[in-house]
Structures are given as structure tokens and as C-alpha cells.
Amino acid sequence: MKRMKRLKTIMVILIVIVVILVGFAYRTLHFDYGNDRFMKKKGKQLGFTEKVYKATDGSEISYLEGPNNGEPLLLIHGQMVSKEDYAKVLPKLSNHFHIFAVDCYGHGKSSKNPNKYQLIPIRDDLIDFMRDVIRDKTFLSGHSSGALISAAIAAKEKEQVKGLLLEDGPFFSTEPARAENTFSYLEFKTIHDFLAQKVEKNYTRYYLDHTYMKSLFNKDGKDNWDFIVKNPFSERIRENSGKMPIVWYYPPEIGLNGIIFLTRNMQDGTGNYDLRFGETFYDFSWFYGVDQ
């Protein structure tokens, strides 16, 4: 009798453990790492609509527009992400502002034309966007490379800008002779080297082998990068090279799945980011005609 009770107790414990693990794995595998489901879930409910603005040369700028709950606020994202990068703050911001969040060229659903991957063309087309679409003095906020764009807009078109917020703008760390010593530049080199070679077609797999980030993991002679990151993610690429690899036992909170998710790109069909945009920060062509 006692033995049966113990067996039942053990079975119940095992079932609970399995249920917890299944729930944990499901959450990790279905987490919205790129905020891709924002419009399907909260976006439309909050009154956001996705639209397209055509520049004078036919280039398309995809953007989200929120409800008219205040003065206009233009949000310009950083590299490798998209307008949905603001998804977590849009609900609160949209209570106080009329939100416009754009996809920069080379990102999201906007045009993928390398001739537009420079600060001046992006700046000028967004100034036209403000005149043609927003049509009012605008609060302007940009993150990372978006901060550089925002500052350039404000410098050229003061009459259109009511306020300016720059988040983590890499102004002088992107200049030649300084950029080469930054982590970001070494990551741009990885992009450059990938585009220059013809053997590996999957950028994420190439990244796992060549990123500078692995040196941050490998300490005291231990190959932590391969054990913690490269091997588990590479295994999942082998299982399905058409999708971004997600390791089910790494919860979203520790950021590893999120870091690898950022490598999705247009070149290998896993995402919308054009790696050629990143290369312009490697060869400094993004700053053509600009004196920071």
C-alpha cells in the first residue's frame, strides 16, 4: 500500500515537472523576439495602422501611425531592427502623442536600395515625410543610427522639429580612426566579410563562427562560446535553415535567443534587414557628405 502511494506521488511529481517543462519550452519557442506580432495583437487594438509613404524617386517608407491623441512624435529605430522595435513603449506613448514610427531604408518593409543607404538621402526623405504626412511641428526621437538621422533632420529643418530626444547616438565613435576600436565596428566587419565570401549562404551560421562576441565568452582558455552559443544554435540551424534558431531551454530574459534573432536578414531569407546597410558603417559610406 505504501509502495503504491509512493509510486503515485512520484508519478504526480513527474507529470508536474513535464507540464512545467512543456510550458517553459512553449513560451521560449513562441516568444515574440522581433515584436512581429505587435500589429496582430495590440497594434490594431490600440488604433495603429500600417501605411506606406512614397518618396519623390519612388522609394517606399513603411510606417506605423497611431491615434491622434496629442502632438506628433516621430520615432526612428536603430540598426538591424524595425519600427516594431518600439512595440513595448507604443501603448503608453500613444496615450499622449500622435505616433509615427518609420522603417528606415534597408530595414523592415521599407525599400532595399543601397543607393539610399546614406545619412543624407534618409534625412531628406524623412524631412519630406514630415512635410507631406505629419504636416506639423514634430517631436523627434531616434535610437542609435536613428539618433544620427534625428540630429541631422533637426540640424537641417529646425522649423519642423519641436523637440529632440537622442538615444545612444554613436556620433563620434563612428568616425574613422575611432570606429575601428569599437565593438559595433567589429560586428560590421563580420557583415562585410560575409558579403565578400561566396561559400557560406546562411549569415547566422557565419556569424556564430566569426563574431567578435565570442571573445567576450571565452575566458581563461575555456571555449564557452561554442558550448553555450554556437553548438546549440548551429544544431537548430541544421534542423531548419529557413527559420531563425531558437534554443528552447534559454528563456527570453537571458537574451541569448534575442541576440541571435538580431542576425536575421534579407540575404539568406530569414528577415528583412539588408546586410548591405550595415556594410556602409564598415566602409563609412553612410556618412558621405556629412561632417558630424
| Alpha carbon distance 106, 82 (integer Å) | 10
Grid cell 534554443 in the structure block, residue: 247
**Class of domain 39-167 (CATH, top level):** alpha beta
Cα-Cα-Cα-Cα dihedral sign, residues 87, 117, 245, 182? negative
φ, ψ (nearest 5 deg) of residue 12: -65, -45
Average pLDDT taken over every residue of the chain: 93
CA distance from start to end of the chain? 81
Chain centroid to CA 7:
50
Give 256-272 pLDDT, tens digit per residue: 999 999 999 999 999 99
Residue ranges covered by each domain of the chain: 1-30, 39-167, 179-287
Percentage of the chain exceeding pLDDT 70: 99
Using CA atoms of 54, 128, 276, 273 in order, give the dihedral in degrees to the nearest 10.
Answer: -60
For residue 11, is pLDDT > 90?
A: no
CA distances from 81 to 33, 140, 200, 243, 249 (A): 11, 18, 23, 17, 24
Pairing of strands 97-102, 60-65: antiparallel
pLDDT at 1: 66
pLDDT at 59: 98
* Local structure of residue 94 (DSSP, 8 states): T
* Local structure of residue 103 (DSSP, 8 states): P
Among the ranges given (194-208, 235-249, 264-278), the one the predictor scored with the smallest mean pLDDT? 235-249
Give 144-193 pLDDT, tens digit per residue: 999 999 999 999 999 999 999 999 999 999 999 999 999 999 999 999 99
76 in Cβ contact with 117 (< 8 Å): no
Q: What is the pTM of this model?
A: 0.92
Neighbour-count burial of 39, counting CB atoms closer than 10 A to its CB (0-12 exposed, 13-18 middle, 19+ buried): middle
Enter the C-alpha cell of residue 269: 531569407
Q: How confident is the model at residue 15 (pLDDT cuts 50, 70, 90)?
A: confident
Residue 221, helix vs strand vs coil: coil
Q: How confident is the model at residue 280 (pLDDT cuts 50, 70, 90)?
A: very high
| Alpha carbon distance 182, 159 (integer Å) | 35
Contacts of 79 (CB under 8 A, 6+ apart): 107, 144, 145, 277, 278, 281
Give 121-134 pLDDT, tens digit per residue: 999 999 999 999 99
For residue 29, is pLDDT > 80?
A: yes
Among the ranges given (27-31, 90-94, 250-254), the one the predictor scored with the smallest mean pLDDT? 27-31
